[in-house]
Amino acid sequence: MTNVPGPSSGSPVRPARVRAAGWGWRHAPRTRWALRGLDFEIDPGERVLLLGASGSGKSTVLQALAGVLGGSEEGESAGELLIDQRPASDSQGRVGLVLQDPDSQVILERVGDDVAFGCENLGVPREEIWPRVRHALAEVGLDVALDRSTAQLSGGQKQRLALAGVLAMRPGLLLLDEPTANLDPAGVAEVRDAVARVLESTGATLVVVEHRVDVWLPLVDRVIVLSPDGALLADGAPEDVLQSRGEELAELGVWVPGHPHAVAPRVSAPGTRVLGTRDLTVGRSVAFAANGFERRMPDLGFLEGTSTAITGPNGSGKSTLGLTLAGLLPPIAGTASARGTLRDGASEHPIDWRSRELLTRIGTVFQEPEHQFLRSTVREELAVGPRALKLSSAEIAARIDELLQRLRLDALADANPFTLSGGEKRRLSVATILATRPRVLVLDEPTFGQDSRTWAELLGLLGELVDEGKAIIAMTHDRRFVDTFADREVRL
Amino acid sequence: MTSTTKSEPTIATARRSIRWRVVDIVVASVIAVASSVVFFAWNIAHDGVSSLLKPLLPGLQAADGGMWLFAGVLVALVVRKPGAALYGEFVAAAISALLGGQYGATVLLSGLVQGLGAELVFLLFFYSSWRVWVAILAGIGAGIAKAAFELVVWYPGADTLFMTVYVAASIVSGAVIAGFLSWLAVRGLAKTGALDRFASGREYSAHV
Amino acid sequence: MTHPFSRINPVAKLGAALLLAACLVLTVDWVSAGTALLLELAAFPFLGIRARRFWLRTLPVWVAAPLTGITILLYGRPSGTIYWEWFAVRISDGSLELALATMLRVVAIGLPAVVLFITVDATDLADGLAQVWRLPSRFVLGALAAFRLVGLFANDWRYLELARRARGVGDAGRIRRIPGQVFALLVLAIRRGSKLAVAMEARGFGGPIPRTWARESRFEMGEWATLIAGLMVGMIAIAAAVGTGHWNFIVG
């Protein structure tokens, strides 16, 4: 960084005080209050970790503090929520919010513009904006040109960019909504360290929401826990709360150190080789996705009744390898070939199979479940594969009922797949694949965005499948997943 | 700078406000952008042979024109604000020009004209009816505007029969693809919960 | 090294293309269209666009022009000798001349509209629209932010296609699967848009404070020259048509 922030750009940040008094919120289409009767006070400079089950309204609290919950058109509020002495809804510039999804919070095309965006909106004079931008980028350690394209940044860099954009506004209250949930381990460390630096230099008040407690414990001095129905469950020093409420928190899906979820031991024995690669180069063409690329892969073989984790940094070609093994993308060079029971009369190369032939052979679970939803109810969704196989309607109904029960989706049989929670969507996307009983399962980041409870459930389910003799191939960043579940790890 | 809209407090008593919220603007823009991606995919999927045969038709080539019109009607049905059809169609056109669409800057004009065609219909109903037949009428409005624009700019030398068939085909296509299908799409979108922040979404989604 | 023309404010390029188009739209005759086309082809080499890029981007115009010409040849207003007639088709002296004029006209309107847009950057265009043309900044910036998502949507679209193959319904025709994929894309797009709106609002976007601009969008000599050049080409073309008696107003 050539521009050392000057004294003019370092004007002091005044840490904010937060006060909730009987505060609550009801989203307009619902009759149930998302949050109710919240009372808490956060002193200037305090660093709070906000915990709770999925759906307990943690994100709603952060959005309310940031003043972006919307007006009376979108819902009803009760009680008071104050930043310093003013209602949170008109505290523009006092509060900065960083969200979970890196792709949905990059706003502009160029790095410098993106950081300047908040300043412009606050009416900061032009001469003052660029020093602020440089200072903010330096503080989060993002050492790239101002006209660098934001699309080219990694996930961790995008999150630090968002943090810089917030910092340039000089907020007294920093809100982080699961800022590292979508990042690989390197990205998590990058972001956490940047936040630590920022807090050190600004002394701003912090509220962070995150399932992975261990990431933030070194930084916070207080933990607030929301109950599943949106009330206050616990509030106190981190050690005290985690000690006294550890069990309960783990039950809610929080990763509490020292409270691992039990995953049943596996009993499978490896079977014969069903899928293998030779001299394989994977890649995607330049035509549609902006950046085409090619990666040479090691020769791999996959046995029935085993689980393989494929790991490696972003850009190592994990997902592309997965899609190629699954018979969805053609290899650039070399072969991926099926054998024996997997081939079962079809051509040797999965990419040559018809879509219908894939169903009973290789099932793919995409990273984003919504990419593979096709119907408007869960039951219909599960019927798609079996119908394509032209199974009898009695057989289809039997399979669906079994899956609904086994994956605890029976209460949701008539719900629209897109309305499910993150954990439910993941279970459904696995269920749609299981409905046609493929011998090989390819999963891309299956544990992404899952809380500890849904994580353990998923592992339990996948374990059963391996025991039944299926070959599971998972592309993943998740260390815990690799250590607990994989028979073998392939590092790219 | 005068460009920022004044922050007059929205009429608290009115059930719905006429002022665009940030989420209205951004989601309208995003739908328009997604629509232009769809135009592109449509062009790729399109059979090359049929596009060579199309010039031989006596005006029926306008029959798939509705594909280029749905952005405006769809955006209006989702955000339900004055100017939504115009904005949605115009942004979709501008994006396809930026992506390297085949008619460059002239697409901006056709987007504007087509958007106006749909917008006028919603205006005639004082922005208070979003029923299926209003959507179909808006699709027709866009279709007529599209046909008029293209006949003037690209086919001014055509004879009356060609022009009549061209307009008729545009109307049918606008009514079905831009009008009816957009309305169906919004109903489906509401059921996915994606429109929970919009009045259009709350009308259909379950009350929990 | 950036070419000087690529630094011209996009709203000036846009304005030039639209002024030129406005002139050419008024008449259908081969003189005005041909004149404009000659002037355009003489000007393009000075805009700093590489030949390969030029041909690649303008290819659709070169394809569309003869096709539109054929349509007019078959269905143009007939006059003079009629050579062939079948059902609604009538090829005559009149439709032959109109077809030629139409072909040249499509190229003359289409080329500058595409070429002037090749060097346009979305961010610069938005700056110009909001600061020079004074369009409402909330809308301009909303559209600009959404434009950035194009790459993600293209990626979504690819995954939607792959996912259909994975779900066993990929054997049916591509066109038939489009409506379903469009719907899924819209769901994903609206979800992303809602999140983006929260992120933007959290950074003070759409708030009560009058906005400033980190970068000024300028409109100076070069911009005026670009505008005038566009208008001049159009006027010269019109003058040529009127002067040679070929002016043929589109209505009537």
Reported ipTM? 0.90
With cut-offs at 50, 70 and 90, classify the pLDDT of residue B44. low
CB-CB contact of A314 with A291 (8 Å): no
What is the 3 state secondary structure string of C50-66? CHHHHHHHHHHHHHHHH
CB contact under 8 A, C139 and B7: no
Check B104 against C88: CB less than 8 A apart.
no
Which residue in chain C is spatially nearest to A120 when comparing CA positions? C212
* Residuewise pLDDT in 10s, chain C (252 residues): 578 888 899 999 999 999 999 999 999 999 999 999 999 999 998 888 888 889 988 888 888 888 888 888 888 888 888 888 887 788 888 888 899 999 999 999 989 988 888 888 899 999 999 999 999 999 999 999 999 998 889 889 889 999 999 998 888 777 778 888 899 999 999 999 999 999 999 999 988 889 999 999 999 999 999 999 999 999 999 999 999 999 988 876
Contact B164, B187 (CB under 8 A): no
> In whole angstroms, what is the distance from residue C25 CA to residue C30 CA?
12
Q: Do C169 and A112 touch (CB under 8 A)?
A: no
For residue C109, the chain B residue with the least C-alpha distance is B106
pLDDT beyond 90 at B83: yes
Question: How distant is the Cα of C102 from the closest Cα of chain A, in angstroms?
Answer: 33
Nearest to C239 by CA among C14, C26, C17, C15: C26
pLDDT at res. C64: 85
How many residues comprise chain C? 252
- The string of DSSP codes covering A52-92 is E-TTSSHHHHHHHHTT-S--TTTEEEEEEEEETTEEGGG-T
Task: Measure the CA–CA gap between A455 and A481, rounded to whole angstroms.
Answer: 9
Tokens 């996948």 locate to: A462
**Interchain CB contact of B184 with C (< 8 Å):** no
CA diameter of chain A: 76
Query: CB of A487 within 8 A of CB of A321?
Result: no
Nearest CB to C166: which of A93, A123, A358? A358
Q: Is B78 within 8 Å of B200 (Cβ atoms)? A: yes
Cα distance from B3 to chain A (closest Cα, Å)?
Answer: 12
Quick count: other Cβ atoms within 10 Å of Cβ C80?
Answer: 11
User: For residue A284, how many other CB atoms are within 10 A of its CB?
Assistant: 21
* Amino acid residing at A227: S
| 3-state SS assignment for residue C211 | coil
Q: What H or E segment, with its residue span, contains residue C131?
A: helix C122-131
Burial status of residue B49 (CB atoms within 10 A of its CB: 0-12, 13-18, 19 or more): exposed
Looking at CA atoms only, how far is residue A354 from chain B in angstroms? 19
Q: Any residues with CB less than 8 A from the CB of A258 and at least 6 apart, and which? A: A246
- Rounded CA-CA distance B89/B111 in Å is 5
- Cβ pair A328:C166 closer than 8 A: yes
Residues in chain C closer than 8 A to A104 (CB atoms): 192, 195-196, 199
Chains in contact with B, where contact requires at least 3 CB pairs less than 8 Å apart: A, C
- Predicted pLDDT at B3: 40
Chosen for mutation from B30, B164, B167, B192 (greatest number of chain C CBs closer than 10 Å) is: B30
Q: At what angle do helices B132-153 and B160-173 cross, to 10 degrees?
A: 150
pLDDT value of residue C252: 60
Task: Say if residues C88 and C73 touch (Cβ distance below 8 Å).
Answer: no
Residue B188 to chain A, least CA–CA distance (Å): 8
Residues within 8 A of C (CB atoms), B 77-96 only: 78, 87, 91, 94-95
Buried b vs exposed e over B175-207: b needs ≥16 C-beta within 10 Å?
bbbbbbbbbebbebbbbbbbbbbbbbbbebbee
pLDDT at position A1 is 37
Nearest Cα residue in chain A from C123: A109
Does the beta carbon of B37 lie under 8 angstroms from any beta carbon of chain A?
no
Question: Least CB-CB distance to A385: which of C160, C167, C201?
Answer: C167
Residue pair A367/A407 in contact (Cβ under 8 Å)? The answer is no
pLDDT tens for chain A, residues 1 to 492: 334 444 444 457 899 999 999 999 998 877 888 888 899 999 999 999 999 877 788 889 999 999 998 777 788 899 999 999 899 988 878 999 999 888 889 999 999 999 999 999 999 999 999 999 999 999 999 999 999 999 888 888 999 999 999 999 999 999 999 998 878 888 889 899 999 999 998 999 999 998 888 889 999 999 999 888 888 888 999 999 988 888 888 888 888 887 777 777 777 778 889 999 999 999 876 544 445 678 899 999 999 999 999 998 877 888 899 999 999 999 999 999 998 888 888 889 999 999 999 999 999 999 889 999 999 999 999 999 999 999 999 999 999 999 999 888 999 999 999 988 888 898 999 999 999 999 999 999 888 878 888 888 889 889 989 999 999 999 998 888 999 889 999 998
Say which of C117, C130, C183 has its CB closest to residue B105: C117
List the single residue in A101, A388, A433 with the smallest CB-CB distance to C195.
Answer: A101
User: What Cα–Cα distance (Å) separates residue C142 from each residue in A153, A381, B70, B200, C201?
Assistant: 22, 35, 20, 20, 11
Q: Supply the pLDDT for residue A286.
A: 53
In chain A, the percentage of residues whose pLDDT exceeds 90 is 57
Which residues of A are less than 8 Å from C165 in CB distance? 328, 355, 358
Q: Is C158's CB within 8 Å of A288's CB?
A: yes
Is there a contact between A416 and B191 if contact means CB atoms under 8 Å apart?
yes
Q: How far apart are CA A133 and CA C203, in angstroms?
A: 14
For C89, the token pair is 């088709």
Best of C62, C114, C124 to substitute, by most chain B Cβ atoms within 10 angstroms, is C114
Are C108 and C65 contacting, i.e. CB atoms less than 8 angstroms apart? no
Chain C positions touching B156 (Cβ under 8 A) are 28, 102, 250
Block residue for tokens 């960083």: A98
Q: Angle CA(C2)–CA(C4)–CA(C9) in degrees, nearest 5?
A: 105
**Between chains, do A372 and C202 touch, taking CB under 8 Å as contact?**
no
Measured CA to CA in angstroms, residue A167 lies from A96, A115, A135, A185 at distances of 7, 9, 9, 24
| A71–B197 C-beta distance less than 8 A | no
How far A288 CA lies from chain C's nearest CA (Å)?
7
- Residues B17/B23/B26/B30 CA torsion (nearest 10 deg): -110
B25:C61 CB<8 A: no
Gap from C221 CA to chain B (nearest CA, Å): 22
Token representation of residue A195: 């936040």
